[in-house]
Amino acid sequence: MILVTGGAGFIGSNFVLGWLAHSDEPVVNLDKLTYAGNLANLASLANDPRHLFVHGDIGDSALVASLLARHQPRAILNFAAETHVDRAIAGAGNFIATNVDATFALLETVRAWWQAQDDAARARFRFLHVSTDEVYGTLQPGEAAFSETTPYAPNNPYAASKAASDHLVRAWHRTYGLPTLTTNCSNNYGPYQFPEKLIPHMIAQARAGQPLPVYGDGQQVRDWLFVTDHCAALRRVLEAGRPGATYNIGGSDEMANLDVVRTVCGILDELAPAAQGSHADRIEHVTDRLGHDRRYAIDAGKIARELGWTPAESFASGIRKTVEWYLAHADWLDALQASHAGQGERS
């Protein structure tokens, strides 16, 4: 049995689906179901006895303690987080509450339970904390990619809150011996992503014949990672990662946001042509985000050397699969947009 927190969100739900596709080991899935949590992502597991969904907060120590006592998980994967930079800039309170305070509460509850286990159970247990490359700050053109030893330099409230959570996880390993693993991933994309993020937002806007807003000059560079590759990396880290270690997970595909949008438009022109002209004709440059980091890039050499993981998808293959998925699941996208009218934003 494993316990997954935040397993109804984008990456978490993809992980749960992938886990149960590769293993019969049951999953307890704890999710608060904030705006970005969506049980429709897990609809295929509705009658699967291997999946137990629990609606709740990682900061609810009594609930978490009861789940630990009842299910005795051999591992916890913590996806639970507020993640959208625009929302953090508009109001950081929820980010501090979830990413810092609730993560602290989770660590304390897990530590108390873990310390009460026998030697064998303590030795085999793992706590895998899923984080982001944004904790490292920004890179200049030509500067070496982020490695696991790059100093933390977060530049926005979201990144700062995730940096704080990473530091807590590290401290709980160094001080108490809790067998933790931390992963820092680059920009994920793929099925089930909430349409405030760049790629699904552009697909949704294009389908509706609406403008495609791109921040600033659109030359902000990101390293793009297909979500199923990320999930495969997490399974490998859980299987063989060294307790206390950090692993950077990236797609080794750096692209500027504007080029990503143009690529999406090109695929849409082929698969779902606009009534007139190209979808790219509706690209509009809008005022840039406050404190917008210019470039992220991940050096994923450590996980390749130590654990043998490399991404299976290139950006070219992954982005086509992504656009095809959203076009084939228009009902999923339409229902989500209808239930969150007016909340669409950009990554």
Q: Are 113 and 68 in contact (CB under 8 A)?
A: yes
Query: How is the chain split among helix, strand and coil, in percent rounded to 5?
Result: 45, 15, 35
Helix residue spans in 37-118 (DSSP H): 61-71, 85-90, 93-95, 103-115
Measured CA distances, 165 to 105, 252, 267 (Å): 11, 25, 38
Q: Are 221 and 296 in contact (CB under 8 A)?
A: yes
Catalytic residue among 133, 196, 313, 345: 133
Active-site residue, 134 included: yes
Catalytic residue among 57, 134, 196, 253: 134
Catalytic residue among 136, 158, 189, 326: 158
242 vs 32: CA distance, rounded Å: 30
Closest CA to 17 of 56, 58, 64, 51: 51
Q: Are 180 and 243 in contact (CB under 8 A)?
A: yes
Q: Which residues contact residue 206 at a Cβ distance below 8 angstroms, ignoring those fewer than 6 apart?
A: 212, 264, 265, 268, 272, 274, 279, 282
For the record, the structure tokens of 123 come out as: 């030795």
137 vs 293: CA distance, rounded Å: 7
For the record, the structure tokens of 301 come out as: 């050499």
Active-site residue, 284 included: no
Active-site residue, 133 included: yes
Catalytic residues: 133-134, 158
